[in-house]
Amino acid sequence: MDFTLINSFIAVAEEGSFSTAAKHLFLSQQSLSKQIAKLETELGTELLVRSRPLRLTQNGKLFLQTAKEMVKLKQEFDETCGTRLSGRESVHLGVEHTIARAILPRVLPRFMDAHPDVYVRISEESPEELEKAITHEGIDLIIGSISNPPSSYQTVELCRKEQLLVVPKKLMRALAGGRYEQLCAEYSNGVDLRFFEKAPFIRQPRNSSGGRSLMSYMKYYDVSPDFVCELTNVENAFQLALSGVGAIIYAKIFWDMLDPALQRDYREKIELFPLPYLPVTDKVCAYCRSDTEESPASELLALIEDFLRDYENGKPWREA
């Protein structure tokens, strides 16, 4: 059985759309349709009713559950086989793109120094993709924020992920006019996003952590900013803000991890204003499989907890 076809079917079934699934799989819609047709031929049954909205046939519903189990078993086999061949224990870590930047360069070197025989596999995904992966992949530990973790995973709250509004100085001056200094002082303890509703904003995709935070603040303030561009990578978005393209919402932990000299250089070009804490989207959690106690995964989690505890106490670790 070709697992490429199985994974493609799972993606179409979960998205309910050939076009959306094709984007996630980096395929053309025509190629994806051919894959599903080939799978149906091999199975000797139709799996999908090609209508709007797209629907699973009764056999499609049955096969979806089987397909997920097959993918999970193959994942477990591949990891077990790989571990035996290498003679190592392994840890599969799933982590949000955004939080990975703050955690991995500081925590992983310490973990790998302490555990030289452990192989670490890392999946950097959006919260949406992590939530899908946790249901059918052998992920030992997830760091981020997902909505519906399975009952077989323990949830550990790690820290608040507070957000900053990053505004190019030339944009702030244009908006504030003669009230520039007054407004900067007023917003230094908390910004009112309604003041910036007509300002150009740089957007992140809705399924990303940054995109979810942005949507939450839009709803909280009941505003509709003027989006001028969209980027997946938050660091590229930050560089565009530095160049004056528009404002962005940026996790405070990213700013705090920058070298102080770099922070001083950046402050020549931008203003930073704290945003109110929204626990629905700005909370970082760990989701650990219940059967990973006294394993490398649990030790990695303990190290991440130490790192974030020190960060919240004003003692952030520097990169190794």
CATH of 163-274, picked from 3.50.50.60, 3.40.190.10, 3.30.70.980, 3.30.360.10, is: 3.40.190.10
* CATH 3.40.50.300 given to domain 88-160+283-312: no
Spatial distance between the Cα atoms of 172 and 170, rounded to a whole number of angstroms: 5
Residue 117 clears pLDDT 70, i.e. is over it: yes
The confidence score (pLDDT) of residue 29 equals 87
Position with higher pLDDT, 281 vs 305: 305
CA distances from 282 to 174, 187, 208, 256 (A): 30, 20, 12, 16
Residues 26-43: what's their mean pLDDT? 87
**In CATH terms, are 88-160+283-312 and 163-274 the same topology?**
yes
Confidence bin at 57 (pLDDT 50/70/90) = very high
Residues 291-310: what's their mean pLDDT? 87
List the helix and strand counts (H, then E) for the chain. Answer: 13, 12
The full DSSP string for 102-167 is HHHHHHHHHHHHH-TTEEEEEEEE-HHHHHHHHHHS--SEEEE--S---TTEEEEEEEE--EEEEE
Confidence bin at 85 (pLDDT 50/70/90) = very low
Residue 22 clears pLDDT 80, i.e. is over it: yes
Q: Tell me phi and psi for residue 269, to 5 degrees.
A: -115, -15
Confidence bin at 14 (pLDDT 50/70/90) = confident
The confidence score (pLDDT) of residue 320 equals 61
- Of the candidates 278, 274, 277, 276, the residue with the CA atom closest to the CA atom of residue 186: 274
Show the tokens assigned to 139. Answer: 């992920």
Position with higher pLDDT, 80 vs 302: 302
The confidence score (pLDDT) of residue 76 equals 65
b/e per residue 288-317 (b: at least 16 CB within 10 A): bbeebeebbbbbbbebbeebbeebeeeeeb
Confidence bin at 137 (pLDDT 50/70/90) = low
The confidence score (pLDDT) of residue 139 equals 83
The confidence score (pLDDT) of residue 84 equals 46
pLDDT tens-place string over residues 190-240:
999 999 998 999 998 877 777 888 888 999 999 998 999 998 888 899 999
The confidence score (pLDDT) of residue 172 equals 97
pLDDT tens-place string over residues 86-102:
456 788 898 987 788 88
CA distances from 33 to 17, 48, 60, 64, 84 (A): 11, 11, 15, 17, 37
Q: What is the mean pLDDT of the chain?
A: 86
Residue 185 clears pLDDT 90, i.e. is over it: yes
The full DSSP string for 13-42 is HHHT-HHHHHHHHT--HHHHHHHHHHHHHH
**What residues does each domain of the chain span?**
3-69, 88-160+283-312, 163-274
* CATH 1.10.10.10 given to domain 3-69: yes
Show the tokens assigned to 90. Answer: 């392994």
